Amino acid sequence: MKTTSETGGGNVPQGSAGGALHVAFGVDSGYFRGMGAAIVSLLQHNAQQRFIFHVFAFAVSEDSRNRLDRLAQRYDLDIRTHLLDAHMLDAFRAFPCFAQHQLGTFIRLLIPNLLHGISDRVLYLDADLLCFGSIAALHAIELDGAIAAAVHDEVSTTAKTQIAALGLAKPEYFNAGVMLINVPEWIRADVQTRALTVLSTQQLLFADQDALNVALNGRVVYIGDEWNTRYHLVDYTSRGESELVVPPQVVFMHFTGPVKPWQDWCLHDARKVFLQVQDRSSWSDMPLDPPRTAREFKLYSKSLMKHGRWKEGICMHLRYLRKRSASKKR
């Protein structure tokens, strides 16, 4: 078991282990629990694979550090925490769109440069997904001169609008929640600078994902949907549907959108599945998140009513109205 803590912006310790797959997460305070479950789900379905996990964040609480230490000890893991220095972004602060984004938005764009010299390949994963199968085939993909391997985003919706909106020369658009990254090619193409510049200077609908699509256009190997199956929970809960069906070919199921499986107001089987994984992590004692914002109370209210729980739904709608009214007075 090994846990280390490093500061981004300086040198990351050398020492990539042969045969190990480097997996990186970029997280803020609300996603450590999700990341912990993602790690456990990877281990459950890939017992023979050796991993080195990298956790990148601008802030890490003592509680999160302790839980990461316990997770590493429980599963004999190599987990390296990289505490990023916000001054890394000083060169972009003067640009007009920089202040529109929270610091966490920038993390995904920084990771490959910080791992340069550690590993030539890194698997980047969003923290709101679970693994349901072996990643051996993904680990074996040859990237050659490509910068990354990724999955097409929804062709009829997201890709259709963003290819045109971003003026992408090659008509393709990927979801950045799962990326197998060729680190030397990323560095050679100066993706970090290009993507940070786009993010800081342009109005973007999907923020860092749009910026990455601009910077990597034409340099991506597209892989099957099983590697990043998007599951927009709000679409199901707003229709009153609750059954989670995971097709047998799915390896990563990515819970996109405002409803997450670690929320106690997620009226969907995904919550039960998530809890089963969380119970095997060092976050097992953490209660699920209650609704906090006006939007969350509204979504919860709609979901309750769709499930026929009218009294509770009306109560939550009243709480939504009070939250909305209070926010307007500020």
- State the pLDDT at residue 134: 97
Question: What's the rounded mean pLDDT across residues 88-102?
Answer: 96
Q: Which of 25, 269, 245 is nearest to 123 (CA)?
A: 25
Q: Please give the distance of CA 85 from its chain centroid, rounded to a whole number.
A: 20
Q: What is the pTM of this model?
A: 0.94
pLDDT band at 10 (very low <50, low <70, confident <90, very high): very low
Listed residue (252, 270, 260, 281) closest to 124, CA to CA: 252
| pLDDT score, position 171 | 96
Instruction: Tell me the average pLDDT across 105-122.
Output: 97
Specify the residue for token string 């999907």: 206
Residue 8's nearest CA partner among 139, 157, 140, 113 is 113
Confidence of residue 3 (pLDDT cuts 50, 70, 90): low
Q: Which tens digits make up the pLDDT trace of 17-38?
A: 448 999 999 999 999 999 999 9
pLDDT of res. 329: 76
Q: Is the pLDDT of residue 156 over 90?
A: no
Q: What pLDDT is attached to residue 19?
A: 86
Q: Tens digit of pLDDT for each residue in 38-92? A: 999 999 999 999 999 999 999 999 999 999 999 999 999 999 999 999 999 999 9
299 close to 324: Cβ distance less than 8 angstroms: no
Q: What is the DSSP string of 5-56?
A: EEEBTBPPPP-PPTTPEEEEEE--GGGHHHHHHHHHHHHHH-TT--EEEEEE
Q: What are phi and psi of 221, to 5 degrees?
A: -90, 120
Residue 287: is its pLDDT beyond 70? Answer: yes
- The answer on pLDDT for 130 being more than 80 is yes
